[in-house]
Chains A and B, each alone.
Chain A
Amino acid sequence: LENFAGDQVLRVEPCNEEQVRLLKELRALEPLQLDFWRFPSYPNEPADVQVPFACLQDVKVFLESRGIKYCVMIEDIQAAVDEERREMYLNQRR
């Protein structure tokens, strides 16, 4: 079972074409293992990206150093997965 402890989902809001282009470059960086839930598309359209804990600092530095606005949308994916698993267990027992 893959563990997502500490993985976060960031909502990134590029404000111009250049920032969209930078996000597309970020997406292509294989070692970061980013999972875009909503791909970068147009300025002012948010992109959602799941970032493994090990790469959080790299990604946040990348965004901040280029002035790309973002916020943390999900703090800890594993906590959400655990909650879902608990719900499923309760449902099965019921």
Chain B
Amino acid sequence: ERGSSSFNYGAYHPLETIYQEMDNIVAEYPKIVSKLQIGESYEKRPLYVLKFSTGGKNRPAIWIDAGIHAREWVTQATALWTAKKIASDYEYDPSVNSLLNTMDLFLLVVANPDGYVFSHTENRMWRKTRSKTPGSPCVGVDPNRNWDAGFGGPGASSNPCSDSYHGPSADSEVEVRSVVDFIKSHGNVKAFISIHSYSQLLMFPYGYTCDNIRDRAELDNVARTAANALTSLYGTQYKVGPICSVIYQASGGSIDWSYNYGIKYSFAFELRDTGRHGFLLPADQIIPTARETWMGLKSIFEHVRDHPY
């Protein structure tokens, strides 16, 4: 697999192979794709972001991250397929052209590389980071309970041994802090999309409280349109709504932080997985999952592009 044209996107790969393929995409589409390192994980693995841009200075941007819960492998696989799709569709798909002529796009393909490697080598069901907690035999923090949004509130555990442990303080995890620092230093991010996989949901804030956000009507409308676009391909059914009512109350989540930071278009996807397969979605469903997700993503992109704020 020496180039993105021969890479098998329909298979699960170890971290090194994913990082190599990111380099291949950059090499193949150097005019619009570049790679940035936004930090290092707890175990010193690089955190790489693919930047899709046609130029301009500090254009409004869309942020996408995938795989913050390491074991949800189809998210990292979907993100990689999406990277190739955006790069290869530029100049061919008017929607992608129009987007990239207006905005930049940042894609963090593996948001939790330590957890991802651990899920390949030690424990297939690992979801947390790999940071050590002083005084506890248990390792890791749930990185989607670690953001500065209702930190430590309902739906997060204070027990370091729990799979939803919120960590010692907001942004304590370097993987989270690196994204926060990047978004803050960029200063012009208009959409923040986090990709997970379990039970087919498309959600918007809030999770830490069941109060409605100011923009609920608009975000609900955007999400429903996106979910319909996604469903149109294979009929996969998605539930849409605020995290709190669609799934459960959970504090310290990324899209609550991004919304409160002023990024109106904040969404979280839970990709195709009924639970019958757990997080072990069969490899032959990777590309269908990526394809349908692309329909939903594109629908959100178009709305963000056409509704500057």
Q: Which A residues form the contact surface with B (CB < 8 A)?
A: 1-2, 4, 9, 11, 27-28, 30, 35-42, 45, 48, 50, 73-74, 77, 80-81, 83-84, 87-88, 91-92, 94
Looking at chain B's contact residues, is the secondary structure mostly helix, strand, loop, or mixed?
loop
Q: Are B198 and A80 in contact (CB under 8 A)?
A: no
Q: Are A4 and B250 in contact (CB under 8 A)?
A: no
B252 to chain A, nearest CB (A): 14
> Which residues from B are CB-within-8-Å of A30?
159, 161-162
Q: Are B155 and A84 in contact (CB under 8 A)?
A: no
A91 to B10, CA, bound (A): 9
> Which residues from A are CB-within-8-Å of B278?
9, 37, 50, 74, 77, 80
Q: Mark B161-193, 1 if CB is under 8 A from A, else 0.
A: 111100000000000000000000000000000
Interface segment out of the listed B55-63, B122-130, B220-228 = B122-130
B280 to chain A, nearest CB (A): 5
A56 to B18, CA, bound (A): 37
The answer to whether B29 has its CB under 8 Å from any CB of chain A is no
Q: Are B248 and A88 in contact (CB under 8 A)?
A: no
A81 to B279, CA, bound (A): 10
Q: Are B125 and A87 in contact (CB under 8 A)?
A: no
Q: Which of B122, B163, B198, B283 contacts A88 (CB 8 A)?
A: B283
A35-B125 CB under 8 A given contacts A80-B278, A81-B280: yes
Q: Which of A4, A9, A40, A91 contacts B275 (CB 8 A)?
A: A9
The answer to whether B90 has its CB under 8 Å from any CB of chain A is no
> Which residues from B are CB-within-8-Å of A36?
163-164
> Which residues from B are CB-within-8-Å of A77?
125, 278
> Which residues from A are CB-within-8-Å of B10?
91
Q: Which B residues form the contact surface with A (CB < 8 A)?
A: 8, 10-12, 121-125, 155, 157, 159, 161-164, 198-199, 247-250, 275-280, 282-283
**Residue among B8, B124, B159 with most chain A CB within 10 A:** B124
> Which residues from A are CB-within-8-Å of B283?
84, 87-88, 91
A39-B275 CB under 8 A given contacts A4-B124, A77-B125: no
A1 to B118, CA, bound (A): 10
Q: Which of A2, A39, A92 contacts B248 (CB 8 A)?
A: A39
> Which residues from B are CB-within-8-Å of A28?
157, 159
Q: Are B161 and A38 in contact (CB under 8 A)?
A: no
A30 to B290, CA, bound (A): 36
A83 to B121, CA, bound (A): 16
> Which residues from A are CB-within-8-Å of B280?
80-81, 83-84
A31 to B124, CA, bound (A): 20
> Which residues from A are CB-within-8-Å of B12?
84, 87-88, 91
Q: Are B122 and A2 in contact (CB under 8 A)?
A: yes
A67 to chain B, nearest CB (A): 22
> Which residues from A are CB-within-8-Å of B276?
73-74
A88 to B124, CA, bound (A): 13
Q: Are A39 and B159 in contact (CB under 8 A)?
A: no
Q: Which of A11, A39, A42, A91 contacts B155 (CB 8 A)?
A: A39
Q: Are A94 and B8 in contact (CB under 8 A)?
A: yes
Please name the residue on chain A nearest to B283 by beta carbon. Answer: A87
Q: Are B8 and A48 in contact (CB under 8 A)?
A: no
> Which residues from B are CB-within-8-Å of A91?
8, 10-12, 283
Please name the residue on chain A nearest to B73 by beta carbon. Answer: A84
Q: Are B248 and A42 in contact (CB under 8 A)?
A: yes
Q: Are A4 and B125 in contact (CB under 8 A)?
A: yes
> Which residues from A are CB-within-8-Å of B164?
36, 39
21 contacts between A and B (CB under 8 A): A1-B121, A2-B124, A4-B125, A9-B278, A27-B162, A28-B157, A28-B159, A30-B162, A38-B247, A39-B155, A39-B247, A41-B248, A41-B249, A42-B248, A50-B125, A74-B276, A80-B278, A80-B280, A87-B283, A88-B12, A91-B10
